[in-house]
Each structure stands twice: as structure tokens, then as C-alpha cells.
Amino acid sequence: MCDTFAVGERRTSRGSWIFAKNSDREPDEVHLVVSLPRKEYRRDQDLRCTYITIPQARNTHAVLLCKPFWIWGAEMGLNERGVVIGNEALFTKKKPEKSPGLIGMDLVRLGLERAGTAREAADVIAGLLRRHGQGGVCGYRDRKFAYMNSFLIMDRTEIVVLETVGRDYALKSYQDCAAISNGITLGNDWKKSSLPWGTNLQMYSDPFMTYFSGSRRRREQVMDRISAAGGAFCVDSAFEILRGHRGDRPFTGLNHDVCMHAAEPLIRRSHTTGSLVAELDASSGFRIFVTAGSSPCLTPFKPVLPLKMPAGVDQGGPRYSDDSYWWRHEAFRIQAEMRLTEVQGPLLKEIRELEGQYCTNIPFSPWEGADRALLSASEEAFFRSSALEASWLQAMKSMDRDARPLHNAFWKSIARRNHVPFD
């Protein structure tokens, strides 16, 4: 389960465009942050996506991707032209094709690599969808998990919501704000579609799966928080929405938390494994912030520059590794997960202080910006975040775990399965 939203220049304090997304995946599914340069290809070259091979484009844009380690595509990302895309699983009466096709995450990356505007990205995704269909397993360990997709696409002029059913699509453009979750949001008010005029997209929704996804409640929370900010929305506002919980027990209930905590393998089985906030100014500047680790309520957002990414954020596989920033954070995060009652409040205070130093006032930078002060700030933010976790790991040795035996047993099994250091 995931949440994605964007806020246009009319509602932001800087007159900028802000995109934000949590990637909710299986709890031990490593989430990488990778930066790839623009490339030129031969006319007859092919491209291997997650499951199928398609013709490669002659030229691709430089991209920054946030992605599950085992998938070619990405959950969210942005390109050098200022296009930002995130996708959401949709549960519909029409099921994915049985033969392999493109999955939603492939389409996110393809849209970023091939499009220079939000509208171009929507056209790229719709065209590829019509030619290749969507089909293929989208789960990491759950090899039966497959779904349709919706996309939120933003540039410096508009926000486009693109929702798909099979090889069909519908889209609508927004100027102020938009949010998508794991439910269809468009009815018959779309502006462009491959479906007959007047078709109500809601007729395709699977009501059972959509209800248990908790998407309506989460989207309402996001839209309410955006509205409450008025015209003063900023990246700090986005951080707070992405780490939002409905109560003090974020691992209970029917998936109503924007910051998702897994707790068992049936209902609460999704976990926020990575988060992205991107801000675009009116010309060509970027401010890009990632957690590079799971649970944004337990780790700071940190600035990154595509030209030089922090060490270890693009590393990680199916087992714990010291070379992987994601896995090193996970060794801390699992311990904190079991002590949320005592840890979460004071830790979050320190997290916000760190974000205030390294995120709130950092200037916009061009895509290939190499300003030494900005590169130093990025490196220092990651260093300070790791130091914060090391300090808390030491402090937690003297703290009792919360009296939640089933929840704790679930996370102990996750740690054991992946050889995560665990006391």
C-alpha cells in the first residue's frame, strides 16, 4: 500500500512544485536510491525490463530512481527535465494479463527516461501500455501479488493523474494539488481516455480489496493536511504527512496509516520501505530529499544531489550487508520498532532538528550541480543520521521492549530470516 501526492505553486510557500511518496512494500524488501546518467543507444537496440524485452529509445534522460532492489523499474523518481512520477497499486475487477508484460514500476522508469514533460510522460506510459499490456508478479516474496496501476506525474506546470485498467487509461490534470492511493480516484470526470466518452472508471474498482487497502482513509488524511496548510505548504509539510499515523499504535488496524508499519503477514503486511520528496522551482532547480531507509517516522529525510550520491544508498540485496545503507538502518529500525512507546517521541524530536539543519533551508540546485557546500551538507546529513541511530542503538540496550508479543515475534522472524544483527 502506498500514498503519493503533489502540490502546485499556488499552494506552496516558495511558489514551487512539491512531490512526495511513500513506497509501501514487503517489510524486508530492500529499497535502493540510484542515479543514472543520460544515454544514447543504437537504433536497433533492445531493452530488458522486469519481465519482457521492448525496443530501446534512442536517447534516455538522466534519472534518480527509488526502487525495489530486484525490479528493473522504480516506485518513484524524477529526471533531469523536471518530471517526477510515482505509481500506486490499483485493485480492479479486471485482472492483469497472464502473459508477461510491463509492470507499473517499469512504466514509471520508462516515463522518466523518455519524457520531457508530465503530459509527455503520460503519453509514453499510455502508449507502452497499449502495446505491451501490464502483467507480471509485483510482489517480492508473494509471487501471486499482481495489480493494475495509477500514476501521479508532476512537472513545473501541472500535475497529471493517470489511472489504468488493463490496456486502457484515463487521465486528468490539476494545478493546485492531487493525491492518489490504492483506489481509483477518477470517475467520469477525466479529460482524456482510451475508454468510450462518459465511462465511469469507478465501475472497474474491486470494492473488497480496495476497502482493505485502507486507501480512502489515507487519501483523506493527505488531502486534509494539504488543505490545512493553505498557501504555506513546504517540504517540511510533506515530511510530516509521509510520517503520519492515525494513532499511537501505527501497526494496528486496517492500513489507515500513511506511514505504514507491518505487524503480521495477513492484513498489516505492508511497510514503508522508502520515501521521496522532490521540490522544483520555477526554472531548473531541484531540492531532492530521501530517507534511503524504512519508516520515515524513525529516520530523517536527507538531501541528495544526482551527480554524487551518498555511499551505500544504491546497495542492497536479499540479505543483510554492511555495505548497504538500507540494511544498516534496518538493524536500528527493527530494534526501535519494538520500543516505539519509549523511543518514538524523543527520537522524532531529534529527527526534526536534523531536518531543520540540512533540509529546510538548503538551496535549489541544478541537476548536475556540484556545489561543494551542498555535497558536504548531503554527506554530513547521512553521517549525522547514522550517528543518531548508533547512539539510540546503544541507549536501547537498557530499554525494555513493548509488551506486544505477536508484533515483536513478527519482527524477530524478519531479522532472523535476513541475518540482521539482533540482540
89: helix, strand or coil = strand
Q: How far apart are CA 415 and CA 9, in angstroms?
A: 43
Residue 122: per-residue pLDDT: 98
- Can 138 be counted among the known catalytic residues? no
| 3-state SS class at 411 | helix
Report residue 191's pLDDT band, with 50, 70 and 90 as the boundaries: very high
pLDDT of residue 250: 80
**Predicted pLDDT of residue 421:** 94
Cα 374 to Cα 401: distance, rounded to the nearest angstrom: 39
Q: How many CB atoms lie within 10 A of CB 325?
A: 24
* pLDDT(253) > 80: no
Cell reading at 273: 520501505
Report yes or no on 265 lying in a domain: yes
The C-alpha torsion from 212 through 147 and 76 to 222, rounded to 10°, is -30
Find the mean pLDDT for residues 394-402: 96
Please determine, for residue 252, whether its predicted confidence score (pLDDT) is greater than 90: no
How far, rounded to the nearest angstrom, does the alpha carbon of residue 184 sit from its chain's CA centroid?
Answer: 18
The dihedrals phi and psi of 86, each to the nearest 5 degrees, come to -135, 150
- pLDDT higher than 80, residue 251: no
Q: Which range marks the domain in which residue 126 is found? A: 3-417
In the beta sheet, which residues pair with residue 176?
A: none
**CATH number of the domain to which 66 belongs:** 3.60.60.10
Q: Which amino acid is at 248?
A: D
Q: What is d(CA 49, CA 131) in angstroms, rounded to the nearest whole number?
A: 14
**Does 34 have pLDDT greater than 90?**
yes
Mean pLDDT of 364-390: 97
| Residue percentage of the chain with pLDDT more than 70 | 100
Determine the pLDDT at residue 302: 98
Q: What is the mean pLDDT of residues 268-283?
A: 96
pLDDT tens for each residue of 313-322: 999 999 999 9
Q: What is the mean pLDDT of the chain?
A: 96
Structural domains in the chain (count): 1
pLDDT tens-digit map of 64-105:
999 999 999 999 999 999 999 999 999 999 988 889 999 999
pLDDT at 35: 98
pLDDT of residue 254: 79
Looking up cell 462518459 gives 198
Residue 376 burial class via C-beta count within 10 angstroms: exposed 0-12, middle 13-18, buried 19 and up:
exposed
Quick one: pLDDT at residue 177? Answer: 98
Q: What is the pLDDT of residue 267?
A: 80
Give the span between the Cα atoms of 33 and 384, in whole angstroms: 19
Q: Is residue 423 part of a domain?
A: no
Please say if the pLDDT value at position 114 is more than 90: yes
- The pTM of the full predicted model, rounded to 2 decimals, is 0.97
Asked, for residue 382, whether it belongs to a domain, the answer is yes
- C-alpha distance across the termini of the chain, in Å: 30
For 293-351, give the DSSP string.
SS-TTSS--EEEBTTBPPTTTT---SS--TT-HHHHHHHHHHHHHTTHHHHHHHHHHHH
Residue 135 lies in a domain: yes
Distance between CA atoms of residues 268 and 251, nearest Å: 7
**Residue 237 clears pLDDT 90, i.e. is over it:** yes
Whether 276 contacts 292, CB under 8 Å = no
Residue 413 is assigned to a structural domain of this protein: yes
Determine, yes or no, domain membership for 422.
Answer: no
How confident is the model over 43-65, as pLDDT tens digits? Answer: 999 999 999 999 999 999 999 99
pLDDT at residue 212 is higher than 90: no
Does residue 284 carry a pLDDT above 80? yes
- Neighbour count for residue 205 (Cβ, 10 Å): 18
Looking at residue 266, what is its pLDDT?
79
* In the chain, % of residues over pLDDT 90: 92
